[in-house]
Amino acid sequence: MYFAALLARTEDGWEASDTELDDVETLNDLADLAREAAVDDDTVVAFIEQEDAWFGVIRVDGEDDPRVFLSNAAIAARSSYGAMLTDELLGRDDDDATDDLDSLDLDGTEDGEPESDINVEDDDPLEAVNGSDGPPHGPLGDAALLADLGVSEKELLALDGDALSTIADSLGCTEVLEAVR
């Protein structure tokens, strides 16, 4: 279960809105959604959280490229929105996964051929399929994306549990975030 919210900075503080991610397929889609919530091209912070397993913070400042932080990329990569963000941070294209699947010989052992070198007991299925280490176990992205708003890189990296409430408290918008939760 996901929780997603947008916090738009205004002259009077922060405005929060619960957001649906049904139509979000890329980071650009999410950035566009954030820009729609912006007041006078000011900062918008998007929060995505999946049942305290991982959280993501996406910051959009006007037309600048979005900045992204994930609390645990390896865990996030196992979910649809987390995978989208992880792939973006790692510079993977959507076509890369398709290309990897197209290059597999799926009927190698059916005709009595020897089994492949793939160890099915590997902890990381990405490594078994394409030889990569996959996303890192731990934080990924721009940990300093909220530093000018009162959440230092060190503080962001230390968060766990109810991280979004802690961030909202530092930004001074706990009440508006809790109102949409």
Q: What pLDDT, on a 0 to 100 scale, did the predictor assign at position 114?
A: 43
pTM of the model: 0.78
User: Helices marked H in 70-173 — which ranges?
Assistant: 73-76, 80-90, 94-102, 125-130, 153-158, 163-171
Q: What pLDDT, on a 0 to 100 scale, did the predictor assign at position 132?
A: 54
pLDDT averaged per 10 residues, the chain (length 181): 92 90 92 93 94 94 96 95 95 58 42 43 42 79 96 94 90 92 83
Q: What pLDDT, on a 0 to 100 scale, did the predictor assign at position 162?
A: 83
**CA separation, residue 181 to residues 79, 88, 129, 162 (Å):** 21, 27, 38, 12
